[in-house]
């Protein structure tokens, strides 16, 4: 009887192991396929458009004559939105995480954290219309010269949307620090603020940095908010009051249009998408390097 149970348990464990391996392989294959398609289609695009024009030209108008394929205006718009959203989301999210982890009681934490995480469940298109119909009119009452479609409103909406990513992940990382570490610091005479800034945050640096990178990556890849609230005017500007176009916003406009498959206009989707992938990949490499340095110091 015991032998039969053992054999049955081994078969069950074998099945679970192979199933998990299959899921891991499928995820890897999916990633490789996406990268392969991006590279293949981007090569077709760059056979017709030079790298120099794509990365150095300051005009982007592939759908109009004369055609211009300088991606800098789209890159400028994307980074402007990401920077604005980060200015809002990172300090607010980290502050909320510190409060929930170190200052709030268990009862308050159990109430506030789910409420805060509701923001992550709101569809991005709702944030887009909220930015267009609420945030922009509100800003216009203080800044009369702001355009209807502008980067500032979109940045605020994206920042609000990614606050839960920063707060939830950072709070989880800080809560993982053992209370014995905190108590040891208090026994040595450290104040609450000193424990937070010199013990908890350095100890949870990996999770905190990961939340920052995830928030920035989410802002870089956001589509519907910028497509609705930021406009569709690709231009090089650092003025958040102006209308801009991001890489994702352009990809949406082309994908929903009547561009013929296989044309150079159609191939721009993959060239812009490939650049977007490289930016996100670069952010993750930077995050790993920062986390590694922080762990060495610890």
Instruction: Let me know whether 37 and 165 are in one domain.
Output: no
Q: Quick check: 270 pLDDT over 80?
A: yes
217 and 289 both lie in a single domain? yes
Yes or no: say if 99 and 171 are a contact pair by the CB < 8 Å rule: no
How many structural domains is the chain composed of?
Answer: 2
Domain annotation covers residue 53: no
Band (pLDDT 50/70/90 cuts) for residue 297 is very low
Question: Which residue intervals of 47-105 are DSSP H helices?
Answer: 51-56, 72-98
Q: What is the CATH number of the domain that holds 100?
A: 1.10.3720.10
**Tell me, what's the pLDDT at 294?**
56
pLDDT exceeds 80 at position 97: yes
Q: What is the pTM of this model?
A: 0.85
Between the ranges 37-51, 147-161, 256-270, where is the mean pLDDT highest? Answer: 147-161
Evaluate if residue 211 carries a pLDDT over 60: yes
pLDDT exceeds 50 at position 296: no
Give the residue numbers spanning the domain of 18. 2-47
| Average pLDDT score, the chain | 85
Three-state SS letters, 91-157? HHHHHHHHHHHHHCCHHHHHHHHHHHHHHHHCCHHHHHHHHHHHHHHHHHHHCCCCCCCCHHHHHHH
What pLDDT does residue 6 have?
A: 57
pLDDT for residue 206: 81
Q: Please indicate, yes or no, whether residues 124 and 163 belong to a single structural domain of this protein.
A: yes
Span 58-84, pLDDT tens digits:
888 888 888 888 899 999 999 999 999
Based on the fold, state whether residues 103 and 22 are members of the same structural domain.
no
Same domain, 119 and 21: no
Would you state the torsion angle of the CA atoms of residues 275, 281, 287, 292, taken in this order, to the nearest 10 degrees?
-140
> What number is the average pLDDT over the span 168-194?
85
Neighbours of 100 (CB within 10 A): 22
Distance between alpha carbon 233 and the CA centroid of its chain, in Å?
Answer: 22
């Amino acid at each position: 009887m015991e032998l039969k149970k053992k054999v049955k348990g081994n078969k069950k464990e074998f099945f679970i192991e192979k199933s998990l391996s299959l899921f891991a392989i499928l995820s890897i294959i999916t990633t490789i396929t996406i990268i392969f398609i991006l590279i293949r289609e981007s090569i077709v695009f760059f056979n017709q458009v030079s790298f120099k024009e794509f990365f150095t030209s300051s005009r982007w108008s592939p759908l109009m004559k004369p055609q211009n394929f300088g991606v800098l205006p789209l890159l400028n718009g994307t980074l402007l939105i990401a920077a604005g959203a980060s200015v809002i989301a990172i300090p607010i999210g980290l502050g909320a995480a510190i409060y929930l982890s170190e200052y709030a009681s268990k009862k308050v934490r159990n109430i506030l954290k789910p409420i805060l995480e509701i923001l992550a469940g709101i569809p991005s298109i709702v944030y887009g219309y909220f930015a267009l119909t609420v945030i922009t009119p509100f800003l216009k009452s203080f800044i009369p010269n702001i355009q209807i479609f502008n980067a500032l409103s979109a940045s605020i909406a994206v920042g609000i949307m990614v606050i839960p990513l920063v707060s939830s992940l950072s709070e989880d990382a800080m809560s993982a620090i053992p209370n014995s570490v905190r108590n040891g610091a208090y026994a040595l005479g450290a104040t609450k603020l000193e424990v937070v800034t010199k013990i908890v945050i350095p100890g949870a640096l990996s999770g905190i940095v990961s939340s920052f990178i995830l928030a920035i990556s989410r802002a870089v890849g956001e589509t519907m908010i910028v497509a609705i609230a930021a406009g569709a005017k690709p231009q090089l500007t650092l003025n958040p009051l102006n209308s801009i176009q991001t890489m994702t916003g352009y990809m949406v406009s082309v994908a929903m249009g009547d561009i013929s498959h296989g044309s150079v206009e159609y191939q721009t989707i993959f060239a812009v998408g490939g650049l977007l992938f490289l930016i996100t990949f670069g952010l993750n490499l930077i995050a790993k390097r920062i986390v590694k340095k922080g762990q060495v110091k610890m």
